[in-house]
Amino acid sequence: MHIGALHISAVNLQEVEQKVLDVAVNIICDEKGKDYLIVDDNPGSEILVLNADSAEGSKILNNASENQVKIVFSSSTQSGKNIITMPTPVRVIALKNVLIKIAEQLYAYIISKKGHLKAVKKPTVLPEAQKIENIFQQLLQIKLANKCSLISSTGLPNIYIDGVNGRFITEKNTDDIEKYLNLDFNSVELKEISSEQLNEYSKNMPVAALNGILWRCALACSNGKLLPGHSENTPVKLTSWPNFSRQGFKPDYFKLAAIMAKHYISLMELNRQTQIPFKEIADFYNAAFAVDIIETVTDKSKLEKTATIKSSQNKSILKKLAQRLGIS
């Protein structure tokens, strides 16, 4: 069910700044739909964009509603409730990214209040009857169950998994996970422990973010196979950009992320469009799912947006900007 567009009021902007705002909104609406954001003079708009470097702009900012999100173009940092300062001159891409983050948060808030839409949900991870095959699947299961566990194997350092707080703890070095990657998983022992026991057993031990370890393990252990319970035919989408500074980066992952961040798409269609080997796609998908940046949706109307990327959509952002600014 449609919940209405978010409105943006633009006040006291210079001509170039107004054009930057218009282009940023147009690009967002190309990706999200024409009614995603609307720039108008609505005094009750959810978002206010203004230049506060003049006396008039400063006065408008001081009188603005506390409940409005205020994007302030200024050479100095502005403080106050719901104020985001962007240093001048403002760039289109920077403004686009800020607007997307604000809009996503506002839409999520509206949906949570009105309860109009079917919930976006993640696919099931591992069916209960499915045998866990490797350390990656075991760590992921612990995380999603919000449990704490001790993992051990003869001759190897113990590792402690805090699925509640997203921590990976080991006796000596967090790189000890490497010793478990290619191990016969039948030789690994798992013991569920309480948070209190975990804290007691792991005092003064090295700690790493569990998501970083999961990303690393997913790429090392997936071997081109999707997680059990996941399908290559289900349209999915990235909810945020991956942290590519983690180990296991491949250049093709940039291409996959760019497409998956734009709209819902099945992994089979992704393979067809990009010609990237499915093994790499499956490994990347598993890693992205493990760090909570994959979603799927049950609402059929949204699935209709999983369009094939047309040649016109392959234009670079710079080319789009040039056309809209009349300099192409």
Residue 165 and residue 178 share a domain? yes
Residue 185 and residue 84 share a domain? no
Quick check: bond before 89 cis, omega within 30?
yes
All residues at 6 or more sequence positions from 219 whose CB lies less than 8 Å from its CB, including other chains: 247, 248, 283, 284, 287
Residue 73 and residue 45 share a domain? yes
Q: Residue 91: give its domain's CATH number.
A: 3.40.50.2300
Which residues constitute the domain of residue 22? 6-114
- pLDDT, tens digit, for every residue of 169-204? 988 777 778 888 877 777 889 999 998 999 888 888
- CA-nearest of 270, 222, 220, 225 to 246 is 220
Query: 165 in a domain, yes or no?
Result: yes
Residue ranges of the chain with per-residue pLDDT less than 50? 1-3, 114-125, 128-129, 299, 305-315, 327-328
Query: 213, exposed or middle or buried, with CB in 10 Å at 0-12, 13-18, 19+?
Result: buried
Q: Tokens representing 80?
A: 């106050």
* Confidence at residue 9, expressed as pLDDT on a 0 to 100 scale: 87
What predicted TM-score, i.e. pTM, was given to this entire model? 0.56
- pLDDT, tens digit, for every residue of 239-286? 888 877 666 778 899 899 999 988 899 999 999 999 999 999 999 999
| 146 HSE (CA, 13 A, CB side) | 1
Total domains in the chain come to: 2
**Cα distances (angstroms) measured from residue 229 to each of 131, 140, 233, 273, 290:** 12, 13, 12, 24, 14
Residue 54 and residue 16 share a domain? yes
Classify 92 as helix, strand or coil. Answer: helix
